[in-house]
Structure 1
Amino acid sequence: MSQRFPDVQGGGSLIVAWQVKGKNILVVGGGEVAAGRILHSLNADAKVTVVCPKSGLNDEVAFRVAQQQISHVDRCFEPHDLDGADMVLSAVDDPATSSRIWQFCKERQLPANIADIPSECDFYFGSMYRDGPLQVMVSTNGNGPKMASIVRKKIADTLPQNTGAAIVNVGKLRKKLRDVAPDISEGPKRMKWISNICELWTLEELVKMSDEDMDLVPTFYDANIVPSFDDIHAKSDASNFTSQ
């Protein structure tokens, strides 16, 4: 075959955006690593329970307990703590305890991450950059967390500061377009049309898109026309002139 397909590169991870909103995440431990895991989980709107003696909580975890952002079990881990959990994040310094938690999770088929033991992880935490709805994760597949942080910072430095705002506006526009063309069969056309808008408009134009602009853009959809930012404002000016 003349067509060339991508080469398979084994040894990677399947990087996905795991939706845990409303799910129960159990965090074992209360130190710095646990604090990072907790923040990631709360940012994803999960329900978090921390199992750790009160004396082992660092300032950040103690603050989240005091603010009732998370539930706290003031003792060391016990197997029944896994009851009702959808995911387990272990962040304790005791390797024997960590491996024991991993075995309990395997018996219950619970997805788990055991800090600092890559071989006992169903998934890894990468270095995360966040700007509103934009999330960029860099993973080294457990080989070098510090390197992931360095690469993430370099990527973040190349992104315009208003990228998140542009994405928010595109999300709003997608919802308006679904109202104009709600039929499921329109899905591929909608996706292609929105993609063309994103490619045609500059980031600055996407950020500047007003609610009025968002109402006008979908009016070009039925004609299968991808309007430029100037087209939208020309139509807006004409509409305003007519209404005067």
Structure 2
Amino acid sequence: MNYYPVFLKVENRKCLLVGAGSVGVRKLGSLLECGPESVTVLDTSEPGSDMLLLLEDPRVRFEQRAFVPADLDGIFLALACTSNNEVNRLISELCRERSVLCNIADYPEGSNFIVPSVVRQGELTLAVSTGGASPAFTRKVRRELEVIFGPHYGAFITLMGRIRPMVLDLGKETSQNTALFRQLVASPVLEELEAGNMSLVEEQLGRILPDELVSRIPELINELI
């Protein structure tokens, strides 16, 4: 099966996590990074130490009880990772009936999306999936990407995120802006960030940016690395 790749916005959305074991800990940690309004966590057992740390987040509400269908009311996204296959399948069926996005651990055929392996460097997000065929190989690829795409990539994305609105505010032609952004991407700025040569980063920006923005370079590169 070919999955349609998409990055899902869960900011200010209500989510449900059923299962607070080790898999649930990983899923909740990833979910909280993306700014949900709230996450209700259900499990019939007491949470472990790793889960207890995550439960300190005010957006998370833990209830030690079994799942009931009403738990899906108003839910945007549901994650199920219990050790009870019957419960997991029930959640899958109810989500399908209610058009709720759901991921059921170890049951891709009952999920309407799968969770890829992710590498993050600041605002740069790389997602890797083998469509469930080989999670072990997915992890291998992720580890390789972590080596290739180091923290300097995150710093570069932050820099571009600062530059872009300043350039657009100048009101120049779209073609000029496009050429400028491409020149920045093709420049040695990324490599100089990796080496920590901020003076050379500043020098490169001075050559590329419009004259109106040169005075703002110290602001642009402040605390990048």
Q: Which TM-score band applies after superposition, normalised by the shorter structure?
A: 0.7 to 0.9
**Whole-angstrom distance in 2 between the partners of 1:188 and 1:87:** 40
CA–CA distance in structure 2, aligned partners of residues 66 and 73 of structure 1: 14
Q: How many Å separate the matches in 1 of 2:176 and 2:88?
A: 49
Pair 1:101–1:158, CA change in 2 (3 A): same
Aligned to 2:43: 52
CA 1:195–1:20: 2 relative to 1, 3 Å: farther
Structure of greater Rg: 1
Higher RCO (CA < 8 A, seq sep 6+): 2
Confirm or deny that 1:32 pairs with 2:32. Answer: no
Q: Report if the CA contact (8 A) 2:117-2:139 is conserved.
A: yes
Post-superposition shift, 1:188? 6.1
- Contact 2:29/2:54 (<8 A) preserved: no
Aligned to 1:146: 136
Alpha-carbon distance change, 188 to 38 in structure 1, aligned in 2, over 3 angstroms: farther
> Structure 1 14/190 Cα, relative in aligned 2: closer, same or farther at 3 Å?
farther
The offset of 1:206, in angstroms, is 5.8
Q: Which amino acid aligns with 1:41?
A: L
1:65 maps to 2:52: no
**Distance of aligned partners of 1:189 and 1:52 in 2 relative to their CA distance in 1, 3 Å threshold:** farther
Amino acid corresponding to residue 49 of structure 1 in structure 2: T
Unmatched 5+ stretches in structure 1: 1-10, 222-231, 237-244
Whether the 8 Å contact between 1:26 and 1:85 is mirrored in structure 2 is: yes
Match of 2:223 in 1: none
Deviations 1:19-61 (A, max 9, x none): 11111111111011111111111111112111123x3422222
TM-score (norm 2): 0.82
| 1:193 counterpart = 2:152 | no
Tell me, in whole angstroms, the C-alpha distance in 2 between the residues paired with 1:48 and 1:160: 31
Match of 1:89 among 72, 79, 88: 79
User: Which residue of structure 1 lines up, in the alignment, with residue 190 of structure 2?
Assistant: 203
Counterpart of 1:8?
none
Give the conservation status (yes or no) of the 8 Å contact 1:30–1:57.
yes
User: How far apart, in 2, do the equivalents of 1:205 and 1:179 lie?
Assistant: 27
Aligned-partner Cα distance in 2 for 1:131–1:170:
14
**How high is the TM-score relative to the length of structure 1?**
0.76
Identity among equivalent pairs (%): 26
Q: Taking structure 1 as reference, are residues 13 and 57 closer, same or farther at Cα in structure 2, changes over 3 Å only?
A: same
Note if contact 2:103-2:113 (Cα within 8 Å) is conserved in structure 1. Answer: yes
Q: Which residue of 2 aligns with 1:217?
A: 209
Query: How many residues are matched?
Result: 207
Provide the alpha-carbon RMSD of the alignment.
Answer: 2.5
Residue matched to 1:172: 162
Give the SS at the match of 1:12. Answer: coil
Paired residue for 1:118?
108
Deviations along 1:182-217, whole A, 9 cap, x unmatched? Answer: 8xxx5565344312321123313467356xx58x82
